[in-house]
Chain A
Amino acid sequence: MTASLVVFFALAGLAVIGAVSLILQKHPIHSALSLIVVMVALAGLYLLLGAEFVAAVQIIVYGGAIMVLFVFVIMLLNAGVEEHTNISRLAGPPGLLLVVALAGFITATIVRTTAGVQGSSQTGAMASTSGISNMLFRDFVYPFELTSFLILVAVMGATVLAQREKP
């Protein structure tokens, strides 16, 4: 068992525990904090995969900006403990079985079709970030500009949706 395998299992366990905790917690603020644990664990996995720029963006944008937005809205709306009806509580066990089947099916399909992908050459640490910037601003420059437009539209939409209409 090598060191990277130990780190992988620690981070993977942390991510799965966070995801299960997201489901089990009754209060939305606890679910949000569990989701932050998942995101930080995934950032560690990205570092392990040699994608340090994606790891930094994951922490800054996901763990920082998006989750702050979530926590802010939870505080703003004063969200309380969620309530379950009897029927929705009954749906848990069969739903869990179906989810296990779904995860198994996805895993089996991908593993079967990608058996030959293993063990390719690894990109270096520095080549990763500069390579991403090269691709982003050369090959993917039109999608990149389109995403800036998307962000603009989203900001305008959120402002229009959340403003209080004038009396």
Chain B
Amino acid sequence: MVPTNYYIILSAILFGLGVFAFVFKRNIITIFMSIELMLNAVNLAFVAFSQALGKLDGQVFVLFVIVVAAAEAAVGLGIIILIARNRQTLNVERVDLMKL
């Protein structure tokens, strides 16, 4: 029987690594993947609390999060294809159309 705190600590570590990848990486696809990493970390916390409280609400919420992540991936990758086609780059520092 693993204590719930261990899962929460792992979830926080993964979330932190996701935040770091989000602000540090320069490739737009990798930035998008780090968002998925953060969503996964939150899912782990949901399932851990669901087991600790003996209720299934957390697991149902995880299913909704996965559905939203799938929809987000479809739309986001469409936007990435559009950016790559219009600006011929995947580096976010080159996508500066709205910069003064």
Contacts and interface: CB of A to CB of B under 8 A. Distances in A.
Interface string B37-68: 10010011101111111101101101110111
Contacts, number: 230
A100 interface: yes
A158 B74 contact: yes
Contacts of A136: 60, 63
B39 to A, nearest CB: 9
A82 B27 contact: yes
A107 B12 contact: yes
B70 A95 contact: no
Query: Which DSSP category, helix, strand, loop or mixed, fits chain A's interface?
Result: helix
A55 B68 CA distance: 17
Contacts of A51: 47, 50-51, 59, 62
Contacts of B19: 99, 102
A147 B75 CA distance: 15
Interface in A72-122: 73-74, 76-77, 79, 82-85, 88, 91-92, 95-96, 99-100, 102-104, 106-107, 110-111, 114, 117-118, 120-122
A123 B56 contact: yes
Contacts of B50: 49, 51
Contacts of B67: 147, 150-151
A167 interface: no
Given A35-B37, A151-B67, A16 B17 contact: yes
Interface string A41-62: 0100110111101100110011
A136 B8 CA distance: 25
Interface of B: 1-10, 12-21, 23-27, 29-30, 32-34, 36-37, 40, 43-45, 47-54, 56-57, 59-60, 62-64, 66-75, 77-82, 84, 90-91, 93
Given A160-B78, A161-B79, 11 more contacts: A8-B2, A19-B13, A45-B10, A51-B59, A73-B77, A79-B29, A82-B25, A135-B56, A135-B60, A147-B67, A158-B77
